[in-house]
Amino acid sequence: MLYLSLISESIALSDLFNAIKSLTRLQTLYFPRSSNYNRGFSVNTFTWPPNLRVLTLAGGVSDNFLLSANNIPTSLGTMAIEYCPFAKAGSIRNLLAKLAPQLTNLKISYHIPTLSYDALDRLLLICPHIRTLTVAVDYISSRFFDEDNAPKPSHPLYLLSLESSGNLGVEQKVGPNDIYIAVCEGGLANLRQVRVSERLGWTSAEMRDDVKDLVDLLEGKEEEDYQAKDGLSPSEYLDSGLEDEASEEMTEWKKARSASHTVKAGVWIFTS
């Protein structure tokens, strides 16, 4: 892992790529927030670490950088874009479209001031294979959850985390009912975990019943998942002694369930 996020000194991207070109075993790379794009630099003249799996883009990456990044290794499955004051919606969507076949985990934070209030509404169509998504509500509207903005028959998204800058009006953009309807209508039929910034106001008395309804729905869907898989509910599965026959995913679920004594599905509020 190479974690450069908190480096205060400005680093030219050409210098960064020259420094990492020999790190053939590097799997995780966090760009420094203070990186700067220098004129004449072309990302395609440099070689990415061939085994890169996790990449966080930050700092002065330009539209040209994002548009011309054509040689990112196919091993990459997790990407974050944050603290990018110059990145625009079109170039971000273009990069994601190129990486869509391989991306399974994606984060787009709210520190990208050039993005509009609905710039990422079609993100699920652009990235049809992601299973975990963290996205700033600043850049999506309630239409993000429309059935027309999810691939058919359903998107595989399992975990959705909603961040917020806390700016005026953002807290009213997305509510639990938007997600409830998306799960029921099939666009997000595989969603089981929702994590929400406290800045969205879901802890208010007005939201309490709607949040509870969403929790009940997600937990009910999880029960259906395991009944369909083994003919057992999660609680019955824990007592069934089927661990040797279970898939790796089911075994991991059992470990987590036994440790926490709660089902995995639900809604969590986090501070930010």
- pLDDT tier, 243 (very low <50, low <70, confident <90, very high otherwise): very low
Output the six-digit token pair for 35: 């990186």
- pLDDT value, residue 151: 86
CATH number of the domain encompassing residue 108:
3.80.10.10
pLDDT for residue 133 is more than 80: yes
pLDDT at 130 over 90: yes
Q: Which of 193, 143, 135, 144 is nearest to 164 (CA)?
A: 135
Dig out the tokens for 47 from the structure. 């070689």
Surface-to-core class of residue 244, CB atoms within 10 Å of its CB (0-12 exposed, 13-18 middle, 19+ buried): exposed
Q: Are 257 and 166 in contact (CB under 8 A)?
A: no
Return the percent helix, strand and coil in the chain, to nearest 5.
40, 15, 45
Domain contains 146: yes
Instruction: Give the whole-number percent of the chain exceeding pLDDT 90.
Output: 52
* 42: helix, strand or coil: coil
Residue 254 lies inside a defined structural domain of this protein: no
Whether this model's pTM surpasses 0.75:
yes
The answer to the question of residue 161 being in a domain is: yes
Residue 250 predicted with pLDDT over 70: no
Under a CB-based contact definition with an 8 Å cutoff, are residues 49 and 29 in contact? Answer: yes
15 pLDDT tier (thresholds 50, 70, 90): confident
User: What is the per-residue pLDDT across 67-113, written as a single tens digit (0 to 9) for each?
Assistant: 888 889 999 999 999 988 889 999 999 999 999 999 999 999 988 99
Which residue, 7, 128, 100, is CA-closest to 58? 7
Q: Which domain holds residue 133?
A: 2-229
Residue 184 sits at the vertex; the CA angle it makes with 180 and 187, to the nearest 5 degrees, is 95
The verdict on residue 30 lying in a domain is yes
Q: Are 53 and 78 in contact (CB under 8 A)?
A: yes
- Whether 61 shows a pLDDT value over 80: the answer reads yes
Number of domains in the chain: 1
Q: What is the pLDDT of residue 246?
A: 46
Q: What is the pLDDT of residues 139-174, one digit of tens each?
A: 999 999 998 998 888 999 999 999 999 888 888 899
Q: So what's the pLDDT on residue 197?
A: 95
Phi first, then psi: give them for residue 57, nearest 5 degrees: -90, 135
Summarised one tens digit per residue, pLDDT across range 111-127 is 899 999 999 999 999 99
Q: What is the DSSP letter of 246?
A: S
**Does 15 fall in a domain?**
yes
What percent of the chain is modeled with pLDDT above 70? 82
pLDDT on residue 160: 97
Mean of the per-residue pLDDT values of the chain: 85
Where is pLDDT greater, at 234 or 171? 171
User: By the 8 A CB rule, do 26 and 20 touch?
Assistant: yes
Q: Is residue 70 part of a domain?
A: yes
Residue 178 falls within a domain, yes or no?
yes
Residue 260 domain-assigned? no
Residues in the chain: 272
